Amino acid sequence: MSNRLVVWIMMVMAAWVTSPLLRAQTAAPKAAADEAKPEKWNNIPPPRSGYKNKKPSGTAPRRDISGIWDSAQSLGTSGAPEHVALLPGGRGQEGGHPDETGIAKPLPYTPAGLAALKANHPSGPGVRQVDAALSNDPADKCDPLGFPYMFLWEFRTINVVQTPRQVVMLSPFYGNYRVIWTDGRELPKDPDPRYNGYSVGKWVDDYTFVVETTGLNPRSWIDHAGRPHSDQLQVEETYHRVSLDTIEYTMKITDAKMYTEPWLADDKLPLHLMPPDFDIPELLCSPSEFGDYNNQVGGVVIRDPSQK
Amino acid sequence: MTNQLRFMAFAFGFLVLSVPLFAHHGAASYDTGKPITVTGTVTEYIWTNPHVLLKLDVKGDSGDITHWVVEAWNPVTQKSRGWTKDTFKPGDEVSAEIAPAKNKQPVGEVRGRIMINGKEFKQNAG
């Protein structure tokens, strides 16, 4: 076959593959007079592909991470983005594995950590997924997500407010908020556990904000793949504002009871600045709505009814 | 020239293989490898958390009606796909490509193409 013919065939195949995507991206919304105006409420952030090759629009302000920041669909349905509970190539979404043997980037569990992992039955796509109605994730009963689960599952768009003594982060998913003290106080020693823990933050340079969190309630999981933590969990976050419109977000997990060494849950995850009038949609967890769902769908599709 | 061609062939081949699919959260319960198309009349459309639900009365060959429930994601995610609370109305004739429940119950998860009253409902990749 001639080279020219091969190239032509490849180009036709590529066009055939990408044309539905192009149509989807440029599809006009339903024709209605009031939908022609830009929406003021319940805004949708740009897709991840919208940032490819996008140049920064300006330099970062000093010591400032306030604003509305979007993670471009970092949904974490298979667990922390740096360690998804999937086999290489993204396979293994159907569950059926007793542990995480063979996943692309395994975690360094201690024996206690592995035992705790196996006791957690996650509902998100992954090698250990169970039918949704059989999940024992407290979050699936609308229990508080806690930290760091609130940033490792459905991160979406958060609102960061900076005051002289605090950085307050508001997350729409489950209506979470967390307070990071910047008044120089030290972390508490041996505190009563809290779902959102205790956080202090400081600027290590004009564009890098580092947060330490301790005192986390082990009742909530680390992520949607059922990764466990003990009361010894320490979370270190780095918010590196690399330009006016981008923060690179890194999260490090340290928990010697569960993991033999620290690991990164997020590694320079880009957070993108939204316009100041961006209205973040609500995504609250309602126990009664979840109950209705399980009655109509979740409980109906259980494969082995004796497990109900 | 040959090396350039090899690289182009590899790049286009990768493009063909990396077509994004709607992420399926319910892979454990649903037969995502064997999608089917259900066709029926909308009886209810519930725009709510945790999942948007579309209920269809599907007529079988012998005229019997099966009440199907088709689930999608939450309203925020569905909105990014182009859905709204008014996308479907009771009485609409709908064909939807779904992943059916593995236990053969009349429940499925939205997977792809949807037709409403004979016209394709163009969804965003989301």
- What is the number of alpha carbons within 13 Å of residue A198 lying toward its C-beta? 13
Which residues 87-126 on chain B approach chain A with CB closer than 8 angstroms?
101-103, 105, 107, 122-126
Give the residue extent of every domain in chain A.
67-156+218-231+241-273
Cis peptide before A270, with omega less than 30 degrees from 0? no
Residue B81: pLDDT band with limits 50, 70, 90: very high
Measured between CB atoms, does B42 come within 8 Å of chain A? no
Give yes or no for a contact between A131 and B28, defined as CB atoms under 8 angstroms apart: yes
The pLDDT score that the predictor gives to residue B17 is: 36
Give yes or no for a contact between B104 and B34, defined as CB atoms under 8 angstroms apart: no
Q: For B31-74, how does the pLDDT look when each residue is reduced to its tens digit (9 = 90+)?
A: 888 899 999 999 999 999 999 999 999 999 899 999 999 999 99
Interatomic CA distance for residues B12 and A17, integer angstroms = 10
Q: Which residues of A275-303 are buried (b: 16+ CB within 10 A; e: fewer)?
A: eeebebbebebeeebbebbbebbbbbbbe
Per the CB < 8 Å rule, is A14 touching B49? no
Give yes or no for a contact between B95 and B37, defined as CB atoms under 8 angstroms apart: yes
The pLDDT score that the predictor gives to residue A110 is: 98
Which helix (H) or strand (E) segment holds residue B67: the answer is: strand B65-71
- Chain B nearest-CA residue for A302: B29
Measured between CB atoms, does A33 come within 8 Å of chain B? no
Interatomic CA distance for residues B126 and B106, integer angstroms = 26
- What is the number of alpha carbons within 13 Å of residue A217 lying toward its C-beta? 12
Q: Which of A74, A134, A301, A303 to mutate to test the interface with B (most CBs of B within 10 A)?
A: A301
Domains of chain B: 24-120 (2.40.50.140)
The pLDDT score that the predictor gives to residue A269 is: 97
> Smallest Cβ distance to B28: which of A75, A129, A285?
A129
Can you state the angle between helices A3-26 and B2-17, rounded to 10 degrees?
Answer: 30
Instruction: Report how many Cβ contacts below 8 Å link chain A to chain B.
Output: 118
The pLDDT score that the predictor gives to residue A187 is: 98
Which residues 264-303 on chain A approach chain B with CB closer than 8 angstroms?
281, 283-286, 289-290, 292-293, 296-297, 300-303
All residue ranges of chain A with pLDDT < 70 are 1-2, 6-37, 305-308
Per the CB < 8 Å rule, is A132 touching B27? no
Per the CB < 8 Å rule, is B103 touching A302? yes
- Chain B nearest-CA residue for A91: B27
Question: Which chain B positions have a beta carbon within 8 Å of A77's beta carbon?
Answer: 23, 25
The pLDDT score that the predictor gives to residue A153 is: 96
Which residues 78-97 on chain A approach chain B with CB closer than 8 angstroms?
93-96
Beta partners for residue B13, in sequence order: none
> Smallest Cβ distance to B105: which of A94, A130, A300?
A300
> Smallest Cβ distance to A296: which of B23, B69, B125?
B69
Question: Which chain A positions have a beta carbon within 8 Å of B123's beta carbon?
Answer: 24, 27
User: Which residue, A262, A240, A181, is CA-closest to A63?
Assistant: A240
Q: Residues A106, A112, A118, A119: is their CA dihedral positive or negative?
A: negative
Q: Which residue has the tokens 């270190």?
A: A236
Q: Which of B29, B97, B98 to mutate to test the interface with A (most CBs of A within 10 A)?
A: B29
Question: Which chain A positions have a beta carbon within 8 Å of B80's beta carbon?
Answer: 44, 47
pLDDT, mean of residues B63-92? 95
Which residues 111-130 on chain A approach chain B with CB closer than 8 angstroms?
123-125, 129-130
Question: Which chain A positions have a beta carbon within 8 Å of B124's beta carbon?
Answer: 24-25, 27
Interatomic CA distance for residues A258 and A228, integer angstroms = 7
Which residues 195-254 on chain A approach chain B with CB closer than 8 angstroms?
none
In terms of DSSP bridges, do strands A246-254 and B119-120 run parallel, antiparallel, or are they unpaired?
A: unpaired
Q: For B8-35, how does the pLDDT look when each residue is reduced to its tens digit (9 = 90+)?
A: 544 444 433 333 334 445 678 898 888 9
Give the ipTM. 0.74
Per the CB < 8 Å rule, is A129 touching B27? yes
